Chains A and B, each alone.
Chain A
Amino acid sequence: MAVLLEAKCLKKIYTTRFGGNQVQALSNVSFSVEQGEYVAIMGESGSGKTTLLNILAALDKPTSGHVLLNQKSLTDVKEREMAAFRRDNLGFVFQDFNLLDTFSLQDNIFLPLVLGGKDYKEMKRRLLPIAQKLGISQLLQKYPYEVSGGQKQRAAVARALITNPQLVLADEPTGALDSRAADGLLRIFHEINQEGQTILMVTHSTKAASHAGRILFVKDGEVFHQIYRGSSTNEQMYQKISDTLTLLATGGEQR
């Protein structure tokens, strides 16, 4: 399978505004994601997960290193074209949904297409199958404050998918959901991955990660370890992840 996303020697150093303190968020991160893969990135708070995701999403720039999406370096994309590039190639799902209260769910889902200058018919055509798959066809005219958290997150997934992105980036997608809604969402992720959608998810939750095909563990700004699913079931994966996390928390202190 072709490599879709490649991170090479990513390093990120934050400098506080008035010089002085430097904080190293990423020291040396390299990995790659293949077409159609479902990858989870795990790590404790402060391990550099969010920084990594921001860099992969082109929301932030690495101090050194490269991110290649389909062999195209994100650092080469001009500032002016960046928004359009993100819109066309990446889909985002956030922990707190990031739906706009002023739009109905349908308009929220349309937002990236409207920004891309698509016409209404085309938008409607794309929306119908996605809405059906996610089970929100009946909710499209409702406003975010009128629906449940799980429904909001499904609308956010629809918004991420409607542009047919190369890669879906999910930041703690189950973080604000109750367990049933979280299960529903993970099932959806599994389904769309089965249909060929590449997904990269950052998460705390062992349960969420246990659905992924591969799990990367980040600690102190480096990729510390990774687990492949192989032929394991979700339950076996859950056990493997737990063991790794325990190891990370106890044995990982030596360095």
Chain B
Amino acid sequence: MTKRFFLRLAADNIKKNKKTYIPYILTCILTISMYYIVKSLSLNPGVEKMIGGTTLMQLMFLGSWIVALFAFIFLFYTNSFLVKRRRKEFGVFNILGMEKRHLSIVLGWETLYVALISLSAGLIFGIALDKAMFLLIGKLLNAEIVLGFFIAPKALAAAVQLFAVIFVLIWLNAICQIHVSNPIELLQAGTAGEKEPKTKWLMAVIGTGCIAAGYYMAITVKDPLASILVFFMAVVLVIIGTYMLFTAGSIVFLKMLRKNKRYYYKTKHFTSVSGMIYCMKQNAVGLANICVLSTMVLVMVSSTSSMMVGMEDILVTRYPEDFTVYSNETELEKGEEMFDRVRNLQKEQGLQVAEEKQYTFLSFMAFQNGNTFQVEKGASISEFNAMNALFFIPLSDYNKIMGENKTLHEGEILLYSNRQQYNESVLNLFGKEYRVVEKLDDFISNGSMAANMESTQFIVVPKMEEMNEIYAREQEVYGEMTSPIRQVYSFDTEAEADEQRQFFDKLRSLIREEGFSGYSESRAAAETDFIGLYGGFFFIGIFLGILFVMATVLIIYYKQISEGYDDKDRFAIMLKVGMSQSEVKSSIHSQVLTVFFLPLLAAGVHVIAAFPLMSRLLVLLNFSNTNLYMACTGICFLVFTGMYVLIYMLTARTYYRIVSS
């Protein structure tokens, strides 16, 4: 056999199987371009120059590995599916006298064609989209837009290498599949009759229990800190429950429908219920996979995108003022001296200060037990719920900053809680009872407290002496680990972000060189890292989201097509027995619809149940804008559903064409 013969045969095979090959090639193209984009962004000097670009590039580098891994698994899976579908064809070739060796050569040429087409199209597409992505990132990071194309030869080379390896492995896998089977097996693949699935009551009940427990945990959790633990438990429970419900629960449910004679023996339900029982037997795991994947995509993309959008809020909560200087000097005078030096620096640098505030505070950890706060060393996880930070400030500082004129007597306090509310009328600490005179609605914003994961109780004490007393008692417990009474000086400025960053460098070197004990924070400087980090997460979220969606969709598409060939015979029989074309059509429609939208529906319910938990988790990251998160989740779900519907229409059409041909 000549080489030309093989070439022609390979090309013909691809053309003949275009229904399954076109989606596969499209997937290859998209995966390749996705990989190229991520890789090239991680190498793009333009990105490096942007604010936060370095962090973003590191994340993209990480992301490129994830995409590579995913591409590998995904393409491998799709191709083995393709080969399985074509077994009969291989059987015919084999019987017609082609040796397995020849089949391997044909498969090799086919793989080469696919590789060449998808690599060239994928890279061209990638280069074009890369620029668009770069512009988008630039816009999001507020960077200056540089025009002109950037082509990363390294990224091109990496993509070609990676996918060449993947395609070779795919080819070897296909050869293996052919070699393990004999021609008769190949010819008869997929004609054996199937048994009706068993009813697994126990599994269905356990599955329902798992999901209910997971949901209950997610919805009832109150404490943000405890929610991390709960999150993992709930996720595991819901995943287990989803698999059990899809495999066992669905069949139990369908069989119950079948038992109901009135419902079952109706034209509309008769064929679809019985068809679904078999469909679920074959596809339950696949559908559960899709459900879990979609849930992950939705949760991931909605939380990263809302964090990206709400970054400004997060920054303001974490950094209430443009600059904050914390002094750890034990003598208050030394702290004052440090702040004076900072003020001098402002003048030297000509920095316009709009507003400034200064106060003294003390903060440490305590465990709440009713109206008593216990202070002890060492904590176990089970006590996380009760863990609180206590924050003390003298009344004079509070009045000065908030512009109030409140008075307090000995043993009286004002109280403000930032997350977990404290609603008792008295507060016991170190064996002394304080009376809560007023529960405050607003308080001096403090960045270091916002950075803490646990709740903080802000307590205003009448005089500095009380604070010193509490500090003395704290020292008895914590010893060397005692956090001292600290002073804070913070100020806002009208200067540009660049100027602020320059000033911040000066400020830091001042504190370092003069040997003060303390540190400083700048919102403008932090913004750089925030943007890089959140922007990176956001893009990786989007990329992985798209990949997952593609995987999801392709899995369903192939499933439907392979089922189409099986169902073809069923519907042919129904037509002969007296079903009309339109009845067949509507029966097909309802079945495809269910298979398609069941996972999406379940994913939607999962996302809704996860919502309270996720919003509490986001609070830990200083993101507390629930409405924004809700909007982001909603938009993500809509976009996702939109893509889903599009694919559904395509699939339903192909499926119908197969069935009715």
Give chain A interface residues in 54-84, CB to chain B under 8 Å. Answer: 59, 80, 82-84
B350 interface contact, C-beta 8 A = no
Most chain A beta-carbon neighbours within 10 Å: one of B573, B575, B578: B578
Least Cβ–Cβ distance between A99 and chain B, in angstroms:
8
**Is there contact, CB below 8 Å, between B578 and A115?**
yes
- Of the residues A59, A100, A101, A120, contact of B265 by C-beta under 8 Å: A120
**Is there contact, CB below 8 Å, between A80 and B577?**
no
- Of the residues B278, B573, B579, contact of A115 by C-beta under 8 Å: B579
Least Cβ–Cβ distance between A251 and chain B, in angstroms:
37
B422 interface contact, C-beta 8 A = no
Most chain B beta-carbon neighbours within 10 Å: one of A87, A110, A111, A112: A111
B195 interface contact, C-beta 8 A = yes
**Is there contact, CB below 8 Å, between A159 and B194?**
no
Return 13 A-B CB contacts under 8 Å, by A number. Answer: A59-B576, A82-B580, A84-B580, A86-B578, A100-B573, A101-B194, A101-B278, A103-B274, A107-B270, A114-B266, A115-B577, A143-B195, A145-B193
* Interface pairs A-B: 8 shortest CB-CB: A87-B578, A83-B580, A145-B193, A98-B573, A120-B261, A102-B274, A114-B270, A120-B265
**What residues of chain B lie closer than 8 Å to A111, measured between beta carbons?**
270, 574, 577-578
**Is there contact, CB below 8 Å, between A83 and B579?**
yes
**Is there contact, CB below 8 Å, between A102 and B277?**
yes
Give chain A interface residues in 91-111, CB to chain B under 8 Å. Answer: 92, 94, 98-103, 107, 110-111
Least Cβ–Cβ distance between A13 and chain B, in angstroms:
22
Q: A101-B193, A111-B574 are in contact. Are A83 and B270 (CB under 8 A)?
A: no
Give chain B interface residues in 547-578, CB to chain A under 8 Å. Answer: 570, 573-578
Main secondary structure of the interface of A (DSSP, over half): helix
**What residues of chain A lie closer than 8 Å to B580, measured between beta carbons?**
80, 82-84
Q: A111-B270, A115-B267 are in contact. Are A84 and B193 (CB under 8 A)?
A: no
Chain A residue at minimal CB-CB distance from B192:
A145
**Is there contact, CB below 8 Å, between A92 and B195?**
no
With the chains together, A59 CA to B570 CA distance in Å? 17
**Is there contact, CB below 8 Å, between B275 and A102?**
yes
Q: A83-B578, A102-B274, A112-B577 are in contact. Are A144 and B193 (CB under 8 A)?
A: yes
Q: Mark A232-254, 1 if CB is under 8 A from B, else 0.
A: 00000000000000000000000
With the chains together, A101 CA to B196 CA distance in Å? 9
Count contacts on B: residues with CB < 8 A to the other chain: 26
B505 interface contact, C-beta 8 A = no
**Is there contact, CB below 8 Å, between A115 and B194?**
no
**What residues of chain A lie closer than 8 Å to B579, measured between beta carbons?**
83, 115
B432 interface contact, C-beta 8 A = no
A117 interface contact, C-beta 8 A = yes
Least Cβ–Cβ distance between B630 and chain A, in angstroms:
43
- Given A100-B574, A107-B270, A111-B574, 10 more pairs with CB closer than 8 A: A82-B580, A83-B581, A87-B577, A92-B577, A98-B576, A101-B193, A111-B578, A112-B578, A114-B266, A143-B196
A-B Cβ contacts below 8 A, count: 71
A195 interface contact, C-beta 8 A = no
- Of the residues A102, A110, A115, contact of B583 by C-beta under 8 Å: A115
Chain B residue at minimal CB-CB distance from A82:
B580
With the chains together, A120 CA to B269 CA distance in Å? 13
**What residues of chain A lie closer than 8 Å to B574, measured between beta carbons?**
100, 111
**Is there contact, CB below 8 Å, between A159 and B577?**
yes
Main secondary structure of the interface of B (DSSP, over half): helix
**What residues of chain B lie closer than 8 Å to A98, measured between beta carbons?**
573, 576-577
B: residues with CB less than 8 A from A are 193-196, 261-262, 265-267, 270, 274-275, 277-278, 570, 573-583
Count contacts on A: residues with CB < 8 A to the other chain: 30
Give chain A interface residues in 158-175, CB to chain B under 8 Å. Answer: 159
With the chains together, A87 CA to B576 CA distance in Å? 9
Chain B residue at minimal CB-CB distance from A107:
B274
**Is there contact, CB below 8 Å, between B577 and A102?**
no
- Of the residues A94, A100, A143, contact of B570 by C-beta under 8 Å: A100
Least Cβ–Cβ distance between B456 and chain A, in angstroms:
62
**What residues of chain A lie closer than 8 Å to B573, measured between beta carbons?**
98-100
Chain B residue at minimal CB-CB distance from A144:
B193
Chain A residue at minimal CB-CB distance from B276:
A102
A130 interface contact, C-beta 8 A = no
With the chains together, A123 CA to B196 CA distance in Å? 24
**What residues of chain B lie closer than 8 Å to A178, measured between beta carbons?**
none
With the chains together, A112 CA to B193 CA distance in Å? 23
With the chains together, A100 CA to B193 CA distance in Å? 10
Least Cβ–Cβ distance between B586 and chain A, in angstroms:
12
**Is there contact, CB below 8 Å, between B267 and A117?**
yes
Least Cβ–Cβ distance between A63 and chain B, in angstroms:
22
**Is there contact, CB below 8 Å, between B265 and A119?**
yes
**Is there contact, CB below 8 Å, between A94 and B195?**
no
Least Cβ–Cβ distance between B652 and chain A, in angstroms:
20
**What residues of chain B lie closer than 8 Å to A100, measured between beta carbons?**
274, 570, 573-574
With the chains together, A167 CA to B470 CA distance in Å? 102
**What residues of chain A lie closer than 8 Å to B265, measured between beta carbons?**
110, 114, 119-120, 123
Least Cβ–Cβ distance between A163 and chain B, in angstroms:
8
Chain B residue at minimal CB-CB distance from A83:
B580
**What residues of chain A lie closer than 8 Å to B196, measured between beta carbons?**
143
With the chains together, A172 CA to B501 CA distance in Å? 90
Chain A residue at minimal CB-CB distance from B567:
A102
With the chains together, A208 CA to B565 CA distance in Å? 34
Most chain B beta-carbon neighbours within 10 Å: one of A86, A99, A102: A102
**What residues of chain B lie closer than 8 Å to A110, measured between beta carbons?**
265, 270
Chain B residue at minimal CB-CB distance from A86:
B578
Least Cβ–Cβ distance between B616 and chain A, in angstroms:
46
Least Cβ–Cβ distance between B261 and chain A, in angstroms:
4
With the chains together, A110 CA to B574 CA distance in Å? 12
